[in-house]
Chains A and B, each alone.
Chain A
Amino acid sequence: MKNNNKKMNTDMKNQLKTFALCFFLLLFCHSSLLLAQSSPLIHFPVSAGFSGQDIVLEAKFENPNLQATYVRIFYRVQGAEDYQYIEMDEETDRFVGVIPGAEVQSPAMEYFLLALMSDQSVMTNPESNPFYSPHYVSVTEQVIEKKPVEKEIRSSGGAKTTTLILSPEPGEKIPPDEFVIAVSFISEEGAIDEKSVKLFLDDKDVTASTEVSEYIVSYTSMSISPGIHRVRLTASDGDGNPLEPLTWEFRVASTTEIRAVKKRSTGLRGRVYVDAKSEQITNEKLSTINSGANFSGKYGAVHYGGSFFLTSREEKEAQPRNRYLIEAGTSWIGMRFGDTNPRFNDLILWGKRVRGIEAYLKLGFINFEFVQGETYRGIDGMRYNFQLAGNDTIWTHPESGDTVQTTDGIFRYGTYKQTLTGLRSSLGSGRSFQLGINLLKVKDDVQSIQNGITPKDNLVVGPDLYMAFDNRRIEFRAAVAFSALTNDISSGPLTKAGIDTVFDIDLPIDPAEYEDYLILNASTIPLDPSNLTSLAYNAELKLNYMRNDLRVRYKSIGSEFNSLGNTFLRTNIEGYSIYDRIRLMQNQLYLTLGYDSFLDNLDDEDDENDFTEPTTLNTFTVGFSYYPRARGLPKVSLNFKDHNRDNSLDTLNAVGNRTQDISVQLGYDIQLLNANHTLSLGIIGSDRVDDFMPQSSNIANDIRIFTLRSRFDAPLTTTLTFATNENRTGEDITEYSFKYNQYSFNADYLTMNNKLKLNSGVNMTSAIGSKPGVNGDEKYTDYQRIAFNVGCHFKITPRQYILLDGYIINFKEKLDSSSYMDNIYRARYEIKF
């Protein structure tokens, strides 16, 4: 049976090779068509952000008929080894996700979106090479100067008064619902003329809403946006001589930060929600009900918590969508049961979902972390139907009944149940020193399904080190890992006798005796560990001195390094990166400089094959952000990135392309017609020129986004957006283009003492795609989509709300005159406790 399986696998490998070759040729001939047409995950990238603040991302499918199992944001700090992900929430007609502010760090974040569709296909944005050429968000470190709360100010006439800033203090971070500006005057009589007092918040004169007495000036507002705000207070003395202005800055915490703080707080708290969605898309109806809850609390030193998410879209034939977690512990001992995302280090185990148990014992001088559970559930594949006709076997498709040709009889391969076990022990608390050793074992359960392919067994081991000095202004991290992966354990381990027979090697041990640790056979990599091809290591040094935030990183990941605890790790690469973020002009100007130099496809270097060589990847990054404190000046962020890939060949395997990315972000706050307006303009351009395959690999993107957000006192907030994305692939006679325009207008209105928020909007999109034709360019798509939405968010109590919204969408394809009318309705109820 095993021999049959092996033969089947060998045949299959040959078939796969043939298929891959055909696919490559097909792709080569038609890739521009595929690239031009396959842009269904629409997303306008964010190019600038602030450290500690959420980055909110939105995406939607060009074709609303598409059903996604999930849409995820994969993100990382620039220069980090690999990505973490969060799932985007499905809203009525879009997906919305947030990169948590707590993880947004300078000099930049990188991200891409990945959608797994219900047919198991994958879509990404950016479409091309998302792992290695993700979207780039320049992140500005926000530094607020700490000033004393008490200050003596003088007028030109000599009068003096002492001011005491009561709230918020300079540099203080406050939740939005605790926002009060209050300044106390401690002065002799007549030192201040009350009528001369003026208060400015972010350069907006708010004196009319300010309460002024001879002792205090105070101002509050029901709504204030997250981020840094600036207060300026001016006044004159009794003789009309102006006093020295009082200015300071404070920060309003984002929702994520508030949640993080609340999570740390005591007592039981949490939320329960149920969300129902009904949609009719091209006469097909789909209803989804999601429900969830999470809670956390503390009892003495013990913190506890849990969460669950249940969806009507959970299927046994797919990986789990439901999530469960319950946890309890103290600062030194604890356990989690359910779906956890453990992390040891970024070479070995880094955020992989594990359904099982996670435990820790942290004594400070010595610590242990343990995790065991299932990473994939077993889902069996499907076989073709067959019947015997004489000596022949006739295979038929299980769904269509069509006769097919097959060598292994499997229509669709299944997924083995996979279990992960990890153990980390370390010395030191991790505040300034920690030395750890990690062990990870991941194995597919061969017996879990009948129709699968290449079940795997993986073992990874390695130490890591962390050291910090001078109040963490110097940080050093390093990790080393060695892996062994057996790509196919279906035939079991080789025995000592088998090796002797096949390879004529008399091993001193019998590998079969060690199969509990790792199954060793001919598919094990590395076969020869002495080549160190499955060794990975990295080191990083961070220095924070003299307004410089300097990071130097080196990594080397062997071509055969594999950790199934971190499958997103880029292997077969080595090199270094240097980034520096410099704060200038009293933290108003931020300059970023970066340089990466890597060697990709390392194993081509020593393969004694002149047709393949490693590819050099050089990236130069420069950017500046200007956030002036002076009134009336725009905020500007400009970033430029230049990538070069070259393997010094000019043969069929030659690689030589250059990509230049540029992004400009402008923000301008103005007051007009008794309202605050924020005008923002984003221009993002990307141009890849390939020296060898311009017909298929040249890609150019031109994205422009204009947004006007207006806050009226009514209280009404309107948002007007115009965005366009022009995409071109190929060159000359193979050039395809796709142009997408979006116009939208949305309004939110608060009423009933801020309990009811009504929202409404219209969103119009149009897209034209064209490709080369016999008589010049011809369109392959030309459609228009208009969506109207209306909804409300009603706070039943401060901790309880209901949300209702609906969309009506009209779609018209001009080329074939087809059209349809869709509708989507959603209701959500949530209660917090």
Chain B
Amino acid sequence: MRYDIKTVLFILLAISIFHSELIGDNDKDIAIMLKSKGSVRVRRANPKKWENGTRGSRLHSGDIIKTGEDGLAAIMFTDDKSLMKVRDNSSLAIRGERKKATISKRVKFALGQFWVKVNKQKTDLYVETPSGIAAVKGTEFYGMVSSDSTVIFGIEGLISFKNKFGEILIEAGETGVADRLNAPVIVDTEQFRVQRWADDDGSEKMLEIEFKNSEGDIKSLKLNYEEQ
């Protein structure tokens, strides 16, 4: 009986390894790090170990990326050139599954600031944060994520932003805010200014927003992508 359990466990383990290897092949190379400045660390999903994220690093499903105080990373998905730039003091995990010529992409963004641009959308790109999920139906947006709230600012197209309390559609020029206890809302952006300091080459942009939240408090949001 005991022998049988061992056998079963062994078979289960073998199946598990075989299965994980199979999945691993499908989820390999879903993205590549095109830019890495300052402190950028990657924790590999398999085997689980931390290493420096460098220019040219391949990223696989389940990898976790953390940027330090001076960190900046640009990550490109390999099926459609969707590009995500991550600022300093950010933490995220990327997940993806290959489906023929596309990758189903999901980014778990725990903390920090990012900018996303989707050049040609073949599948949905989801950005999950502690207070909501943004599904990209548009092409470009900024985000600022803390443990309590998430701010999304649309640059082009539409972004679906939802949590368990509700859903909104953010259009270009609009700002959406969500926290853990309330449905996302479009906030009254009192003043905003987008300065495209780089040429139209898909590189960085800088954004400064002042907005009024649902309680009438004026808050400011600065999203800077600078050359480091």
**A interface residue numbers (CB < 8 A to B):** 149, 162, 164, 166-167, 172-173, 177-180, 182, 184, 186, 211, 213, 215-216, 218-220, 261-262, 264-267, 298, 300-301
B58 touches A211 (CB 8 A): yes
B81 touches A178 (CB 8 A): no
B34 touches A182 (CB 8 A): yes
A265 touches B101 (CB 8 A): no
B227 touches A167 (CB 8 A): no
Q: Is B78 an interface residue (CB 8 A)?
A: yes
CB < 8 Å neighbour of A182 from B56, B101, B193, B226: B56
Minimum CB–CB distance from A130 to chain B (whole Å) comes to 37
B56 touches A267 (CB 8 A): no
Chain B minimum-CB-distance residue to A167: B34
Chain B minimum-CB-distance residue to A172: B201
A261 to B35 CA separation, bound complex (whole angstroms): 17
B195 touches A180 (CB 8 A): no
Minimum CB–CB distance from B112 to chain A (whole Å) comes to 18
CB < 8 Å neighbour of B227 from A182, A219, A262: A262
A219 to B55 CA separation, bound complex (whole angstroms): 10
Asked if A265 meets B197 with Cβ closer than 8 Å, knowing A164-B81, A220-B55, the reply is yes
Q: Is B149 an interface residue (CB 8 A)?
A: no
Minimum CB–CB distance from A787 to chain B (whole Å) comes to 38
A215 touches B78 (CB 8 A): yes
Minimum CB–CB distance from A175 to chain B (whole Å) comes to 8
A178 touches B55 (CB 8 A): yes
Asked if A149 meets B28 with Cβ closer than 8 Å, knowing A261-B227, A262-B227, the reply is no
Residues of B within 8 A of A300 (CB): 193, 208
A267 to B228 CA separation, bound complex (whole angstroms): 11
Residues of A within 8 A of B34 (CB): 166-167, 178, 180, 182
Residues of A within 8 A of B168 (CB): none
Asked if A164 meets B78 with Cβ closer than 8 Å, knowing A180-B34, A182-B34, A266-B206, the reply is yes
Asked if A216 meets B193 with Cβ closer than 8 Å, knowing A173-B201, A182-B34, A266-B226, the reply is no
Which DSSP category, helix, strand, loop or mixed, fits chain B's interface?
Answer: loop
Minimum CB–CB distance from A246 to chain B (whole Å) comes to 16
27 example contacts (A-B, Cβ-Cβ < 8 A) are as follows A164-B79, A166-B32, A166-B34, A173-B201, A177-B37, A177-B55, A178-B35, A180-B32, A182-B32, A182-B34, A182-B76, A182-B78, A186-B101, A213-B28, A213-B58, A216-B29, A216-B32, A216-B58, A218-B32, A261-B227, A265-B197, A265-B198, A265-B204, A265-B227, A266-B226, A300-B193, A301-B193
Q: Which of A166, A219, A262, A267 has the most CB of B within 10 A?
A: A166
A215 touches B227 (CB 8 A): no
Q: Given A180-B32, A213-B28, 4 more contacts at CB 8 Å? A: A166-B78, A180-B55, A186-B101, A216-B78
Q: Is B89 an interface residue (CB 8 A)?
A: no
Residues of B within 8 A of A211 (CB): 56, 58
B49-64 Cβ-contact flags toward A at 8 Å (1 or 0) = 0000001101000000
**B interface residue numbers (CB < 8 A to A):** 28-29, 32, 34-35, 37, 55-56, 58, 76, 78-81, 98, 101, 193, 195, 197-198, 201, 204, 206, 208, 224, 226-227
The 4 closest A-B pairs by CB, nearest first: A220-B56, A215-B29, A184-B78, A186-B101
B79 touches A184 (CB 8 A): yes
Asked if A180 meets B226 with Cβ closer than 8 Å, knowing A167-B34, A216-B29, the reply is no
A266 to B206 CA separation, bound complex (whole angstroms): 8
A172 to B76 CA separation, bound complex (whole angstroms): 16
A418 to B54 CA separation, bound complex (whole angstroms): 56
A301 to B197 CA separation, bound complex (whole angstroms): 11
A215 touches B28 (CB 8 A): yes
Residues of B within 8 A of A149 (CB): 81
A515 to B41 CA separation, bound complex (whole angstroms): 72
Minimum CB–CB distance from B150 to chain A (whole Å) comes to 24
B56 touches A218 (CB 8 A): yes
Residues of A within 8 A of B206 (CB): 266
Asked if A265 meets B35 with Cβ closer than 8 Å, knowing A149-B81, A215-B78, the reply is no
A213 touches B226 (CB 8 A): no
A215 to B79 CA separation, bound complex (whole angstroms): 9
Minimum CB–CB distance from A184 to chain B (whole Å) comes to 4
A669 to B226 CA separation, bound complex (whole angstroms): 36
A178 to B29 CA separation, bound complex (whole angstroms): 19
A162 touches B101 (CB 8 A): yes
Q: Which of B98, B197, B204 has the most CB of A within 10 A?
A: B197
Minimum CB–CB distance from A767 to chain B (whole Å) comes to 46
Residues of B within 8 A of A180 (CB): 32, 34, 55-56
A264 to B203 CA separation, bound complex (whole angstroms): 13
Minimum CB–CB distance from A441 to chain B (whole Å) comes to 38
Minimum CB–CB distance from B129 to chain A (whole Å) comes to 25
A266 touches B195 (CB 8 A): yes
A265 to B34 CA separation, bound complex (whole angstroms): 20
Q: Which of B55, B98, B101, B226 has the most CB of A within 10 A?
A: B55
A166 to B206 CA separation, bound complex (whole angstroms): 24
A149 to B81 CA separation, bound complex (whole angstroms): 10
A186 touches B224 (CB 8 A): no
